Structure 1
Amino acid sequence: MSDSIRQAQDKPIRVLITDDHFVVRQGLRLILKTAVDIELVGEAENGEEALQLTAEQQPDVILMDLRMPVMDGLTAIEQLGQLHPQVAVIILTTYNEDDMMLRGLQLGARGYLLKDTDRETLLNTIRAAARGESLFKPEILQRAFSIQAASSSIKKTVPTSDSVQLTPRELEVLQAAATGERNKEIAQQLNISARTVKAHLTSVYNKLGVDSRAAAIAIAAKKGWL
């Protein structure tokens, strides 16, 4: 059974859009309305409004712009992590926001989307985030992270990043995770248990000094491991 059919049979994914540009919100709204398994529960123009609407509407996923007045996206992501850790945040970004995007992932965002992303990528990323997973295209990550911006931010969490080495199995698991595979699917692909997959991912997080799949994939893409 496909993910869209499974979600449609259950309750819809509740999504909140946060962006200070009306045109962006309108475009996202029109796309989300075409998906039977997704429900738009609100729109915010800044991070402060997003926090208020999150408390009121209890969304499953928030699409979060980074540059906004009143309260920017990074501040909102940090506060959401403290107040509503169950909510998955997906960053809305452009190619000139590399450093901010990496900081957002390190703060706990589940993934990111370019503002001109296509419908299928948008919906699949939302569904993956709602399942507690991340869905990335490694080639886009590599293009998005400039070496200078990424290295300056990564050094804050990985003191000796150049010396970090993953085992061949850890790398296989991380590469599969970067394509959006769930732990169960990775386990079947590699002929290991889902518990072992989780253990490998935990080891990867510890080695890279991160606490989320999104941040680990971001660092791996910058290093060329994907």
Structure 2
Amino acid sequence: MTRVLLVDDQMLIRAGFRTILDSEPGLEVVGEAANGAEALERAMRLEPDVICMDVQMPVMDGIAATRELVARGCRAAVLILTTFDRDDFLFETLDAGASGFLLKTAEAEKLIEAVQVLGRGDALLMPEVTRRVLTRYAGTQGAGAGRGAQTPSELTQREVDTLRCLARGMTNAEIAAELYVSTETVKTHVSNILAKLGLRDRVAAVIWAFKHGIAA
């Protein structure tokens, strides 16, 4: 069972999300919060697997709350939900440690899928988001085609290959097919990458790859 905490200053929005998620087998909404400060308290007490977080809220916004959750060692994956499709929100939330980004205008099935993905321990970085990350870092950070790249000595060549595939927005199954290995081997490579580079999740790994110029 994937435990979910809903964070939004609008009660009707929370009620709608609860109805959608509670109707899906394997998902359970265990709590709600109306601002980032409440989210911090309830996340540490309820220990959810996934936190659906609004951005603009009183007292403490979603970006500040996400950053503080990460600093406190909260292991819940944060899914940012917003009505604003803005690059500044996207990059601030990713830099803060969010594991996914979804517009509130998305279909109910997309919300369910996003929560399920994060609940499995994966991260939600859709191809269109990956392209925007690349646009942000290309040129200024040396990303793309390995220009000026320095392969991290901590990683094996197979782990570097896996990291490049992650930066292309590929799933574990797609990476396995690309590298001719099993999905279990891919999971091991991803775990090793995160541990060796001190990264929180796959989103952080993608950003790291672009920033350090090893994204293919």
- State TM-score, norm by structure 1: 0.70
**Who is 2:175 aligned against?**
186
Assess if the C-alpha contact under 8 Å between 2:51 and 2:79 holds in 1: yes
**Who is 1:7 aligned against?**
none
Superposition deviation, residue 127 in structure 1: 1.3
Superposition deviation, residue 107 in structure 1: 1.9
Q: For the aligned residues, what is the CA RMSD? A: 3.8
In the alignment, structure 2 segments of 5+ residues that lack a partner are 152-156
Alignment of 1:71-220 (within 5 A): 71-139=60-128, 142=131, 150=136, 158=141, 160-161=142-143, 163-164=148-149, 169-170=161-162, 173-174=165-166, 178-179=169-170, 181-182=171-172, 186-187=175-176, 190-192=179-181, 194-195=184-185, 199=189, 212-217=201-206
Between 1:60-69 and 1:134-143, the stretch displaced more is 134-143
Residues paired across the two proteins, number: 203
| 1:51 correspondence with 2:51 | no
- 1:59-101 CA distances to partner (integer Å, 9 max, x unpaired)? 1110011111101111111111122431111111234432122
How far, CA to CA, are the matches of 1:170 and 1:126 in structure 2? 24
How far, CA to CA, are the matches of 1:18 and 1:92 in structure 2? 9
**Who is 2:154 aligned against?**
none
Superposition deviation, residue 171 in structure 1: 6.8
How far, CA to CA, are the matches of 1:110 and 1:120 in structure 2? 18
- Pair 1:27–1:165, CA change in 2 (3 A): farther
How far, CA to CA, are the matches of 2:162 and 2:134 in structure 1? 25
- Pair 1:219–1:20, CA change in 2 (3 A): farther
How far, CA to CA, are the matches of 1:211 and 1:21 in structure 2? 29
SS of structure 1 residue aligned to 2:97: coil
Between 1:133-142 and 1:194-203, the stretch displaced more is 194-203
SS of structure 1 residue aligned to 2:59: coil
- State TM-score, norm by structure 2: 0.73
Assess if the C-alpha contact under 8 Å between 1:187 and 1:197 holds in 2: no
Assess if the C-alpha contact under 8 Å between 1:102 and 1:215 holds in 2: no
Superposition deviation, residue 205 in structure 1: 11
How far, CA to CA, are the matches of 1:69 and 1:91 in structure 2? 16
How far, CA to CA, are the matches of 1:78 and 1:26 in structure 2? 25
**Who is 1:24 aligned against?**
13
- 1:81-134 CA distances to partner (integer Å, 9 max, x unpaired)? 122431111111234432122121122111111111112221121111112111
**Who is 1:35 aligned against?**
24
Assess if the C-alpha contact under 8 Å between 2:163 and 2:209 holds in 1: no
**Kindly, what percent of the aligned residue pairs are identical?**
35
Assess if the C-alpha contact under 8 Å between 1:173 and 1:201 holds in 2: no
Superposition deviation, residue 142 in structure 1: 4.2
Assess if the C-alpha contact under 8 Å between 1:47 and 1:76 holds in 2: yes
SS of structure 2 residue aligned to 1:43: strand
